[in-house]
Each structure stands twice: as structure tokens, then as C-alpha cells.
Amino acid sequence: MLTREMLRSGSGLPELYTDRVRLRQLQARDYPALERMLSDPLVIRYVNRIRKPVDTRMRRLVAQIRVAADSLDSLHFAVEWHGRNTAANNEPGQLNELHEHNELSHSPLLGIASFQQWNEKAGEAQLGYILDRPFWGQGLATEVVEEMLRFGFGALKLKRIEGRCQEDNQASVRVLIKNKMRMLRTISAYDHSGEVPGVLVFSITQGDYA
């Protein structure tokens, strides 16, 4: 069982693999790419519901990710291609070799995947993910979520994992349902500009996963 104390002792997050991508611990070198990714209005649209300028929302979110990662309140993984799936110039069908042992050669950041609000005592966490827009519609989110659930219920010994998405984000709804998560409720919210999209809360327990 992987604990917060083990991570603080310097062991770091393990690397996780799917057929196409590698999930590794988010590093300082990833933040410029993350800032660029979250500067896309269509990407950040589904990440938070604050009705402020995109740049303001991006900077606030990146700062929150940094703080949570440093404190280990959240576990943040960078998502990148691995092996021959490393895409050249992000063009479909163009592949180049990833030299896995050369730190100067690494895949572009495809997105991040996280366990937020990790409660070791209760055995609960909230699953989140963000993919850059060029990588939408390729089944990567489903693949990443599947691997995060395996890690959560396996290495972290979680009892329940929650996932949330805006009700108008039907692509994420499909991803969560494909991974056997069940919708529990809708959270309605309001701001000064009027009603904002509700949030759908999904959940899966260790028993449902097994």
C-alpha cells in the first residue's frame, strides 16, 4: 500500500502505463506546457466554473495544482506518449522513437491525471483529468481513467473514488460511464452572472470495481 508518508520520504509516484501512454509524476518542466494547455478556452471551459477571464482562471488553477502537488493533498500525473507512440509534431500517423533512458528526449505533455482531496484514513479520493485539445476524441481519456482506477484501488487501497464533470461535458460523462462509474447526484451552482452549468457527481467503490 502506497502512503503519503512513503511519498514524502522520497519514493515519488510510480510510473503507470497503458497501451499508448505513460503517467509519471508531474514535474517543474511540465508547467509551461500546462499553462499553454489551460490557456485554451475550450479546455479550461470544463475544468472550473469560475466566470473570469481565461488567463486569470489558468493562473489560479496552475497555482492550485502546484500547492496541492507540493503538499501531497493531491497526486498529479503528467500524461505523455510512450515508446513508438511518441507523436512527431502532434500529427496523427507520424511516429518517432522515444529514447526512454535519455532525459533530454521526452514526449510532449498530453494532459494530466490526478487524485484530488486524497483522504488516506477514509480511503477516498476525487479523480480528475485534463487532456490538451489535439488529443480529444482518441479514446485516451477512457484509457487514462481506467489506469488511474487500477492504481487507486490497487496501490492506494482506496475504498471509493469519485469523479465529477459539468453536465454539458458529455464526452467526460461517457468516459466515466465506460469505466463503470455511477452517477449519484447533480450539484447546482450560481454566480453573479447567473446560473452556471451543474456538476454531475459519479462514484465507484472497491466492491463495484472488483
The domains of the chain, with CATH numbers, are 4-83+108-158 (3.40.630.30)
Predicted local distance difference test score (pLDDT) of residue 52:
84
- Is the pLDDT at 56 greater than 60? The verdict is yes
- Is the pLDDT at 108 greater than 80? The verdict is yes
- Is the pLDDT at 104 greater than 50? The verdict is no
The pTM (predicted TM-score) of the whole model is 0.87
Beta pairing, strands 160-166 & 109-119: unpaired
Q: Give the whole-angstrom CA distance, residue 10 versus residue 71.
A: 13
Judge whether 204 and 84 are in contact, CB under 8 Å. no
Confidence of residue 114 (pLDDT cuts 50, 70, 90): very high
Q: Give the whole-angstrom CA distance, residue 63 versus residue 23.
A: 21
- Is the pLDDT at 88 greater than 50? The verdict is no
Each residue's pLDDT tens digit, 119-131:
999 999 999 999 9
36 CB contacts (<8 Å, ≥6 apart)?
A: none
Each residue's pLDDT tens digit, 138-152:
999 999 999 999 999
Predicted local distance difference test score (pLDDT) of residue 44:
93
Question: For the chain, what percent of residues have pLDDT higher than 90?
Answer: 72
Q: Give the whole-angstrom CA distance, residue 173 versus residue 171.
A: 5
Each residue's pLDDT tens digit, 139-193:
999 999 999 999 999 999 999 999 999 999 999 999 999 999 999 999 987 666 6
46 SS3 class: coil
| Cα Dmax for the chain | 52
